[in-house]
Amino acid sequence: MEKFNVVMLGAPGSGKGTQAKILAQEFRLAHVSTGDLFRKQIASGNALGQEAKSYIDRGALCPDSLTINMLHDFLSHISDVEGFILDGVPRTTQQAEMLEGFGTTPKLPVHLVLNLNVDQEEIARRMIKRAELEHRSDDTPEIIQKRIENYFAQTKPLEEYYAAQGVLRQINGMGSVEEISAVLCETVRREMRRR
């Protein structure tokens, strides 16, 4: 059977990563976070990591081709899964088109897009809490602000892009981790059954 690929959309701090990990376990999907992949490249000190760091540390998105090439390289080493859950990618319409094979890369069809809606105040609260726990270099107040602005300018348009394909589902991201994951699991189950 063809793989079932899910995209998590949502602002920084919307809980995408937390929920993507839960869904991955529940449905035997491989969780792929481009933010985590970039942080691994940076930690290993290689050229890709150095280039990525120059963007990440000022709250900018990394270039589309750099991101998609890294993603495809990572995906090519994964087998024996029911599909992928993409967390943090695509983040631009251009990246979405690249996944569909408009560029030179192989296709990665997207079957379901889950958009986590969280209000701005809650996002700010969650980001401050995470900064205290994780000490990420891009979690300072100015950089957080920049990332949220970039999300609205560059990533939010993806909602319309996927709505036009009929694969977008809006999810209320306010509530406890368990409440939200219950709704997400139910949505994934329903969409998998419809195939």
Q: Report the sign of the C-alpha dihedral through residues 173, 177, 9, 114, in that order.
A: negative
Query: Of these, 15, 19, 22, 38, which contacts ligand ADP (CB under 6 A)?
Result: 38
Site for ligand ADP in 152-171 (CB under 6 A): none
Question: 67 and 98 in contact (C-beta within 8 Å)?
Answer: no
Residue whose CB is less far from ligand ADP, 80 or 134: 134
Residues 126-132: contacts with CB under 8 Å, at least 24 apart: 126/13, 126/14, 126/15, 127/12, 127/13, 130/13
Using the rule CB under 6 A, is 84 a contact of ligand ADP?
A: no
Query: Of these, 56, 85, 116, 180, which contacts ligand ADP (CB under 6 A)?
Result: 56
Residue whose CB is less far from ligand ADP, 54 or 165: 54
Residue whose CB is less far from ligand ADP, 12 or 83: 12
Structure-token pair, residue 44: 């290993």
Using the rule CB under 6 A, is 61 a contact of ligand ADP?
A: yes
Q: Looking at beta carbons, which residue is closest to ligand ADP?
A: 35
Whole-angstrom distance, CA of residue 159 vs CA of residue 188 = 18
Minimum distance, C-beta of residue 3 to ligand ADP, in the bound complex (Å): 20
φ, ψ of residue 141 in degrees (nearest 5): -55, -40
- Residues contacting ligand ADP: total by CB under 6 A: 16
- Total residues belonging to the chain: 195
Q: Give me the residues that bind ligand ADP (CB under 6 A), please.
A: 12, 34-35, 38, 55-56, 60-62, 67, 88-89, 91, 95, 138, 147
